[in-house]
Amino acid sequence: MDIYRAHVLVCGGTGCSSSGSATLIDRFNEKIAENHLDKEVKVIRTGCFGLCEAGPVVIVYPDGTFYSRVKPEDVDEIVTEHLLKGRKVEHLVYVDHATRQQDAEKKLEDITFYKHQHRIALRNCGVIDPENIDEYLAMDGYRALEKALTQMTREEVIDEILKSGLRGRGGGGFPTGLKWKFTYQSQADQKYVACNADEGDPGAFMDRSILEGDPHAIIEAMAIAGYAIGASQGYIYVRAEYPIAVKRLSIAIDQAREYGLLGKNIFETGFDFDLNIRLGAGAFVCGEETALMHSIEGKRGEPTARPPFPAVKGLFGKPTMLNNVETYANVAQIILHGADWYASMGTEKSKGTKVFALGGKINNTGLVEIPMGTPLRTIIYDIGGGCPNGKKFKAVQTGGPSGGCLPESLLDTPVDYDNLIAAGSMMGSGGMIVMDEDNCMVDIARFYLDFIVDESCGKCAPCRIGTKRMKEILDRIVEGKGEEGDIEKLEQLAQTIKNTALCGLGQTAPNPVLSTLKFFRDEYEAHIKEKRCPAHHCRSLLQYKIDPAKCKGCTACARICPAEAISGTVKQPHVIDVQKCLKCGSCMEKCRFGAISRV
Amino acid sequence: MKSLAELEAIRKATISKINVRKENEAETVRVVVGMATCGIAAGARPVMLSFMDEISKRQLNHVTVSQTGCIGMCRLEPMVDVIVPGHEKVTYVHVKPEMVPRIVAEHIVNGRPVDEYTIGAAE
C-alpha cells in the first residue's frame, strides 16, 4: 500500500479544465518527479469544487491550503516552496470575497463561499478521484446499496425515500418516493430505471458536475432504485456535449461491473442490475420525460401526451422510473442516514438541500449547495459576493427558460419549490442568473424566448407558432418599433400557450415574459411609449455622447472608432456623429476620463 | 466480483490513503518534520521517508506526515514533532531513520514518548 504524505487536488471539472487544469496536472507531475517527490506527493484530478470563478483550483493536503487561479508557471513555486520545503505560497492563496484577505491557514469550510453551504449531493465533488472506485468506497460508497439489498425490503426502501420528503430536483418537484411507489405498483415482466442527465437549462451545470465529480453516487442510487421498483436494467441519458461526464461515467460503470456492484447476483442476493449510457444530441426538449424516453428508444425526441405516465407505460412500453441526476445523488445518503436525518433539513414542504449554479453578474460564479429555505439574499450576497464592480442588483432569474425573474423586493424569499412558484418563478433545475442595472429586462425575456423558439420541437402549434410570434413582438420592442397594445398581445399569447401546449416545456415557455412583465412592466412601457431603454442596453434605443466638459481631447476615442464617427482636434472636445456611429461601445471603453456616456 | 468482506477491506485500505485530505480530524496524529535547508542538510528527508514507510507498514490510518520550516535550532536538526491530540507536543531531535520504528511503535501506537530522543534529553 502506498501512502503519500501530501495530496495535491486539482479540479478536473469542465470549468477548471477549460481554464487549463489539465496542463497544471502535467506540470505538477513533471516538477514533482524533478524534485524526487514522486514517492511522497500524489496529484489527484477531482471533480468540481464549486468555486468555478476562482479556477483552476488547487488544494494541498494535509495543510488544506486553497490556491486559486493557478497558472502553469505558478506550479514550480508551489512544488519547490510548499511541497519541498513546507512553506505555503501566500500570494497564490485564494482571496476571500468577504474579508478581502488571503489566509493560508484558513480551512476550506471556513471560507465565506463554503460557510453557508451544506453539501450532500456534492459531498464527494472535489474530494475524491472520480475515476477511482476505491476512493468512493472509502467515503462509505456502496454501503447504502449493501444496506438496501441485505437489510431492507423493497417496500422499506420506498418508504424511506417517501418519508425523507425528497422531491424531484429536475424542476418539477414531484415527490420522488411517490414516483418510486407508483412504478413499484405497476405490474409488468420488465421495468426500467432511467436517469435524466440531459441538463439543458442555460446556466445550469450541477448535473454535469455531479457526474464528473462523483459518478458512482448515481450508479449506486440507480441500483437501489432498481431493487426498490423491481427493475434489472437502467439507462442514463446524458448529453453528448458533456464529454468529461460521459467518460467518467463509463469508467465508473466498468469499475462497478468489475467489483460485482453491477451485473448478476449482486452481493449474492439474487438481484441483477445493469446500466447503459445513452447519448443525447443536445435537444432541449429531450429533457422532457416522454421525449427523453422516445430518444432512448432510438426514436425522434418528441414529447407525447400524458397519461399514460411513465410509471405505467414508459420505455419500450414498460413501467419506467425516471429521476434527475441530483435527485439520485441524494438517495444513497438517505438510505444510509435515514429519512429523519434528511427531513430535518429544509422547509415544511421542501426537504433537504438544493444545488444552485450561480452565474451572470455575480462575483463568485460557481456551484453552491444550500439547505432549502435559505433566503435568496444569502445566496446572492453572502455566498455569491454580490454584483461585480459595485453595480446595483436588479433581478435574479431562476428556473431557466421555464422560470422567471425576481426583483430586489423578493430577495428575502426563502428558497423552496412552493415559495418560488408563489413569487412568480420556479425552482427549475437550479440555474440562478443574476442581473445588474445594466441588463435590460425586455432583452432578457427576448433571450429566453429566442432559446425556446430555437429549441421548440415543433410538434404542437402553440409552442411552435406562438413563441415565434411572441419573439417577433419582443424583437420589435427592443428595436424601438413597439406599438401600443403589444404588451396586451404578449399577455394573451402567453396565456394561450400556457393553456394549450403539449408538454411542460411549452406550457412554461412564456414564463420569462410573464414574470418580467409582472415585475418590470415599466421597462416594457419605456421601450414602447418613450422609445427609451432604461438600462441603456438596447442598441437601437441609445446614443453615445461625449461630455465636452470632461473631454480632454486626447483623441483616443477617435483613433479606436471603427466607423470614423468621432471627430475633433487635439486638446479640444470631440464629437460623435450619430449618423455614422455603430454603437459598438469601443470609444466608451477607451476613454480614460469617463467623458463618454450612453443616453 | 468482490464479496462484502473484500469491499470492506478495500474501504479500510483506501481510507488510510485518503486520510490526509480530511481536515480538523480530532483523532489525527500529526508527525511534523523540520524540512528547511538546515533540516534537509542534516538528513531530514530519509527520516521523513522512514516515518511514511513505517506508518504505511503498520496501516496507521490516523497519522499524517507533514513538513515545516526552520524553527531556529538548526544544530538539533533533524527535528520531528509528534502531536497527539489532547497531549502536549513532543519534539524529537537528531532523529535518524533507525530511530523511527521505535518512535512509531512506542509513542504513536502505545502512547509513551521515547524520552531519550526528545529535546528535553538533549538539552
- Option in A86, A109, A138 nearest B69 (CB): A86
Residue-averaged pLDDT of chain A: 92
Residues 6 or more apart in contact with residue A408 via CB below 8 angstroms: A393, A394, A395
C-alpha A324: how far from its chain's center?
13
Which among B121, B83, B89, B94 is positioned nearest to B39, based on CA atoms? B94
pLDDT at residue B26, as a whole number:
67
Separation CA A453–CA A460 (nearest Å): 12
**What is the length of chain A?**
599
- B35 CB neighbours in chain A (<8 A) are 84-86
Residue A599: pLDDT above 90? no
Contact across the interface for B66 and A137, Cβ inside 8 Å: no
- Average confidence (pLDDT) over A328-346: 95
Return the residue matching grid coordinates 476505491.
A134
Separation CA A162–CA A151 (nearest Å): 18
- The DSSP secondary-structure symbol of B118 reads B
Separation CA B113–CA B99 (nearest Å): 12
What is the per-residue pLDDT across A565-591, written as a single tens digit (0 to 9) for each? 999 999 999 999 988 999 898 999 999
What is the per-residue pLDDT across A294-310, written as a single tens digit (0 to 9) for each? 999 999 999 998 889 99
The minimum CA-CA distance between A126 and chain B, rounded to whole Å, is 11
Contact across the interface for A267 and B16, Cβ inside 8 Å: no
Other beta carbons within 10 angstroms of residue A209's beta carbon come to 31
| Residues forming beta bridges with residue A431, ordered by sequence position | A357
Mutate to test the interface with B, among A8, A137, A272 (most CBs of B within 10 A): A137
Could you tell me the residue range of the domain that residue B110 belongs to? 4-122
- A84 CB neighbours in chain B (<8 A) are 35
Contact across the interface for A138 and B17, Cβ inside 8 Å: yes
Separation CA A251–CA A255 (nearest Å): 6
Beta pairing, strands A271-280 & A263-266: antiparallel
- List, in order of start, the domains of chain A with CATH numbers: 6-108 (3.40.30.10), 133-343 (3.40.50.11540), 353-436 (3.10.20.600), 441-529 (1.20.1440.230), 543-598 (3.30.70.20)
Contact across the interface for B1 and A259, Cβ inside 8 Å: yes
pLDDT-based confidence at B23, cuts 50/70/90? low
C-alpha B30: how far from its chain's center?
6
User: Residues of chain B whose C-beta is under 8 A from some C-beta in A?
Assistant: 1-4, 7, 10-11, 13-18, 20-21, 23-24, 30, 35-37, 48-49, 52, 55-56, 59, 64-69
Contact across the interface for B14 and A138, Cβ inside 8 Å: yes
- Average confidence (pLDDT) over A237-264: 95
What is the per-residue pLDDT across B62-114, written as a single tens digit (0 to 9) for each? 888 888 888 788 888 899 999 988 888 899 999 999 999 999 999 999 988 99
Contact across the interface for A137 and B67, Cβ inside 8 Å: no
Answer for the pair A280, A267: CB distance below 8 angstroms, yes or no. Answer: no
- Average confidence (pLDDT) over A336-342: 95
Angle between the N-to-C axes of helices A143-151 and B4-18, in degrees from 0 to 180, rounded to the nearest 10: 160
pLDDT at residue B38, as a whole number:
87
What is the per-residue pLDDT across B31-73, written as a single tens digit (0 to 9) for each? 999 888 888 889 998 999 899 888 888 888 788 888 888 878 8
pLDDT-based confidence at A171, cuts 50/70/90? confident
User: Residues of chain A whose C-beta is under 8 A from some C-beta in B?
Assistant: 1-7, 9, 39-40, 61-64, 84-87, 107-109, 127-128, 134-135, 137-138, 140, 142, 146, 150, 259-261, 263, 267-268
pLDDT at residue A556, as a whole number:
92
| Residues forming beta bridges with residue A239, ordered by sequence position | A280
The minimum CA-CA distance between B107 and chain A, rounded to whole Å, is 19
Chain A residue closest in CA terms to B25: A62
The minimum CA-CA distance between A258 and chain B, rounded to whole Å, is 6
The minimum CA-CA distance between B123 and chain A, rounded to whole Å, is 26
How far is the CA of A315 from the CAs of A129, A191, A192, A278, B7, in angstroms?
Answer: 33, 8, 7, 13, 33
pLDDT at residue A424, as a whole number:
85
- The DSSP secondary-structure symbol of A346 reads B
pLDDT at residue B85, as a whole number:
87
Answer for the pair A156, A164: CB distance below 8 angstroms, yes or no. Answer: no
Residues 6 or more apart in contact with residue B75 via CB below 8 angstroms: none
| Alpha helices (runs of H) in A317-463, residue ranges in sequence order | 325-337, 339-343, 376-377, 417-422, 441-455, 461
How far is the CA of A212 from the CAs of A243, A245, A273, in angstroms?
Answer: 9, 5, 22
pLDDT at residue A1, as a whole number:
45
Separation CA A220–CA A125 (nearest Å): 16
What predicted TM-score, i.e. pTM, was given to this entire model?
0.88
The minimum CA-CA distance between B84 and chain A, rounded to whole Å, is 16
- Average confidence (pLDDT) over A230-245: 94
Domain tally for chain B?
1
pLDDT at residue B21, as a whole number:
77
Contact across the interface for B56 and A85, Cβ inside 8 Å: no
pLDDT-based confidence at B25, cuts 50/70/90? low
Greatest alpha-carbon pair distance for chain B in Å reads 58
| Alpha helices (runs of H) in A456-538, residue ranges in sequence order | 461, 467-478, 486-500, 504-508, 511-519, 521-529
Which among A54, A55, A25 is positioned nearest to A41, based on CA atoms? A25
The minimum CA-CA distance between A181 and chain B, rounded to whole Å, is 29
What is the per-residue pLDDT across A51-95, written as a single tens digit (0 to 9) for each? 888 889 999 988 889 999 999 999 999 998 899 888 889 999 998
pLDDT at residue B37, as a whole number:
84
**What is the length of chain B?**
123
| Least confident piece of the model among A36-40, A248-252, B102-106 | A36-40
Answer for the pair A359, A388: CB distance below 8 angstroms, yes or no. Answer: no
How far is the CA of A513 from the CAs of A201, A446, A486, in angstroms?
Answer: 16, 8, 12
pLDDT at residue B24, as a whole number:
55
CATH code of the domain covering residue B33: 3.40.30.10
- For residue A310, say if its preceding peptide bond is cis, omega within 30 degrees of 0: no
Residue A363: pLDDT above 50? yes
